[in-house]
């Protein structure tokens, strides 16, 4: 590749169509040395297309500042390869967003490094150094001391963990299908974990930022701290709160992630439709937000929030809910296999309150009386069938 000028900078390449064409070439060497400006330009171009980047934070800040400077130069006629002249502003915004997106927290890295942790028997609390506590009760309660060193598990007593100063360590709470757990974190935030869920959190929070990672479903009652935001991370959607009460459902086998806000205010952070760049959206109390990771779209609607939060108190509220959605929740809650004899039965709707303190069979009997269906149980499998009227 012929180097057009030793003074060519990355912003020159990104704002010159003829130079942009050279980024399609694979040879980035001049006199045997790599041309760093062209490499940096190609990395930025690829990053804006894939929402990922190999650039260091310093490089991204540097090129962002350069583009800010170059915008004010009226002599340059800005023309980018994918949009109009105004697109230089989008480059700037994209780089700024990428800086934030690529500051991947230690918690997310830790969560991504874990292998699947579910079992079908016990709730598990995994402490540093793979020290594991098995909790046998169906509905467990766990309370942390303010410094995170003491952990009280109802009916099993108190245990402790040794924490080093200036070292971030994580606890992992794994709740299998058929179990539930309530945990009070060191900052007094209370989390109710539904069946088939995993919560990962620091053993001790930093003073300026509190982060947890969820897979599955949980209700959060976040303790307000004036100068410390609380973040709930999932694989596809993050939530930033200052103090609020909400439900978040992010099961790996669901196509969407949903959040339901009962009180307070939260900010949703998600990959948007424009080049996968992170977008933000506020939620108001009484609303439900559903994020589709494949379409990268989010839809908010007004809902009865108790329908999505009441499970923590031992009952389901249903308002013309499809049997398909109800059965999916009951299958997780009781850890039983429930199926329909005919697909069209899944489209039937049910309204009412279901007492989850009763057995799965008793709950399904209530549903069958109203929907004109009947149930048949064989071992751990329950089939919903059309009621015979012989």
Give the closest residue to 122 by CA, choosing from 161, 180, 171, 170.
180
Sheet holding 373-378, edge to edge: 337-340, 381-386, 373-378
pLDDT at 379: 83
The predicted-structure confidence for 224-242, as pLDDT tens digits, reads as follows: 888 788 999 999 999 998 7
Look at residue 340 in the predicted model and tell me its pLDDT. Answer: 95
What pLDDT sits at residue 275?
A: 56
Find out whether 98 and 53 touch, Cβ atoms under 8 Å.
yes
Domains and CATH numbers, the chain: 10-101 (no CATH), 106-306 (2.60.120.1440), 314-386 (3.55.50.30)
- The pLDDT, as a whole number, for residue 34 is 47
Distance CA 142, CA 149 (A): 13
Residues 151, 159: Cα–Cα separation, whole Å: 5
Q: Please give the Cα distance from 278 to 269 (Å, whole number).
A: 7
State how far the alpha carbon of 14 is from the alpha carbons of 9, 40, 42, 84, in Å.
9, 10, 9, 13
0.85 exceeded by pTM: no
**143: how many CB neighbours lie within 10 A of its CB?**
17
pLDDT at 3: 46
CB-count exposure of residue 188 (10 Å: 0-12, 13-18, 19+): middle
Residues (pLDDT < 50) of the chain are 1-4, 28-34, 50-55, 57, 71-89, 96-103
CA separation, residue 338 to residues 80, 288, 331 (Å): 55, 27, 6
pLDDT confidence of residue 53: 42
Query: What are φ and ψ of residue 318, in 5° steps?
Result: -120, 135
């Amino acid at each position: 590749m012929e180097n057009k000028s030793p003074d060519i900078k990355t912003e020159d390449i990104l704002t010159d169509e003829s130079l942009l064409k050279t980024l399609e070439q694979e040879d980035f060497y001049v006199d045997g040395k790599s041309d760093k400006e062209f490499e940096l330009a190609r990395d930025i171009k690829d990053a804006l297309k894939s929402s990922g980047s190999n650039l260091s934070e310093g490089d991204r800040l540097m090129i962002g500042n350069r583009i800010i400077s170059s915008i004010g130069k009226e002599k340059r006629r800005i023309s980018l390869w994918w949009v109009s002249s105004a697109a230089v502003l989008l480059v700037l915004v994209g780089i700024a967003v990428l800086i934030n997106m690529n500051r991947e927290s230690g918690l997310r890295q830790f969560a991504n490094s874990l292998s699947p942790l579910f079992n079908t028997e016990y709730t598990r609390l995994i402490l540093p150094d793979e020290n594991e506590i098995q909790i046998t009760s169906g509905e467990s309660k766990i309370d942390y001391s303010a410094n995170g060193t003491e952990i009280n598990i109802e009916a099993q007593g108190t245990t402790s963990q040794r924490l080093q100063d200036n070292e971030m360590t994580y606890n992992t709470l794994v709740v299998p299908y058929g179990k539930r757990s309530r945990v009070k974190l060191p900052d007094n935030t209370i989390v109710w974990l539904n069946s088939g869920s995993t919560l990962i959190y620091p053993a001790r929070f930093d003073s300026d930022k509190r982060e947890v990672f969820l897979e599955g479903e949980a209700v959060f009652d976040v303790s307000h701290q004036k100068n410390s935001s609380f973040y709930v991370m999932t694989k596809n959607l993050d939530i930033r709160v200052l103090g609020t009460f909400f439900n978040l459902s992010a099961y790996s086998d669901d196509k969407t992630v949903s959040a339901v806000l009962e009180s307070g205010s939260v900010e949703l952070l998600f990959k948007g439709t424009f080049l996968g760049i992170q977008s933000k959206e506020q939620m108001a109390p009484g609303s439900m937000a559903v994020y589709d990771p494949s379409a990268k779209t989010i839809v908010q609607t007004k809902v009865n929030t108790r329908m999505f939060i009441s499970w923590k108190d031992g009952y389901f509220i249903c308002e013309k809910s499809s049997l398909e959605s109800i059965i999916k929740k009951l299958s997780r809650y009781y850890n039983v296999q429930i199926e329909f004899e005919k697909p069209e039965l899944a489209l039937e709707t049910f309204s009412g309150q279901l007492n989850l303190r009763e057995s799965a069979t008793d709950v399904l009997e209530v549903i069958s009386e109203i929907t004109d269906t009947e149930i048949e149980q064989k071992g751990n499998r329950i089939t919903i069938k059309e009621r015979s009227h012989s």
